[in-house]
Structures are given as C-alpha cells and as structure tokens.
Amino acid sequence: MFVRNALLWFVLLGVGSADAGERTWYRPTVFQSFDAAVSEVFAGADSVWSETWTPTTEERTALDERLGEHVSESSFTFHRGRLGSHDMGWALVLDEIGLHEPITHLVKIDDDGTIADVRILVFRETRGDAIKRPRFLQQFRGKTGRDRLTVGRDIDAVTGATYSSKAITRGVRKALALVAARYENRRDR
C-alpha cells in the first residue's frame, strides 16, 4: 500500500518523468500586466518609449563589480517617459529568482535616481507572494544607489517569504545600478 501511494505521488508531482525539471504543479500568479504597469508608472506622459542596452565587456565588468555579483542577462530594456520637456525617469522589468522560480517585477526610478515604485507583476513560487503587499514594497521608495539595500539591514523581509524578499531587493539594487551604468554622465539621458 505504501509503495503504491508513493508511486502515485511521484506521478502526480512529475518525479521521474521526462520533464521532471519542469514544474507543472503550480500556476504563476499574474498580479499586473506589463502594459498596465508601464502605463501607470508613466501616467500622464506625452510619450513613452523603450531603449535596449547591450553592455560592452568593460561595462559588464563594471556592473558586476558595482553589484558584487555576476549579471547574466545579455541586454536590458529601459522604459522611459516624458511629459513636455520633463524626463519622467526609467522603468525596468526584471526577473529575479526567489527560492526556485523567477519573480517578474517592475522598478520605477525617477529622473533624480530615487526609487519611485516597485511592483510585482508575475509570481511563480508556491509560497511567499506576500511580497506584493504595500508594506514591503513601500520600503524601497526614496532609496538610491547610495543605500545598502540589504534585507535585514535597511529592508525588512516578509515573514515566510525571505527568499522572495531577497530577490526583489536584489532586483531593485540591480535596476539602480543599471540606470547608473547606462545613463550616469551621459547626454542621452
């Protein structure tokens, strides 16, 4: 009886199947679409556009050093908005791994380099989605690249969602570093 029940669970969870690396027993939760999030963070903009940046080897090395970890993405898309002659800053949509799965989130940075908003777009983990709560996300507002942005120091983790909290914190730190690396001291800002 035990063996039969154990085999049933293996089959239900996909263990031992050809696609064992693919998780099929959870469903991603979409909290907000990409289009809706970008429209909201650039509300009132006369124009919204995207710019893709592929860092050179030197820029990538500097970015890795700035973050203290390797950045694996080959290119990054910066979403931008303008109202009249006023630059409304940047929004980046990033994926950071929580415990096992990527968490898709948007980070909005104002033109002065401060965090204006952080939004969870898609959550794929089986637990830890409490990071979508305003109490957690609002901690990032007003932070800059000069802040440590470390869970347990200046960012409080959500109980039961430590890996997810660290993933979002890592993503915010990455977004700040990307904007600084791409637009700091440039005329095309």
- Quick one: three-class SS letters along 43-102? CCCCEEEEEEECCCHHHHHHHHHHHCCCCCCCCEEEEEEEECCEEEEEEEEEEEECCCCE
| Residue 1 pLDDT | 53
Q: Tell me the residue type at 142.
A: G
Is 70 exceeded by the pLDDT of residue 11?
no
Q: Tell me the residue type at 76.
A: F
Beta bridge partners of 122: 30, 104
pLDDT band at 27 (very low <50, low <70, confident <90, very high): confident
More confident residue, 40 or 15: 40
**pTM here?**
0.84
More confident residue, 158 or 6: 158
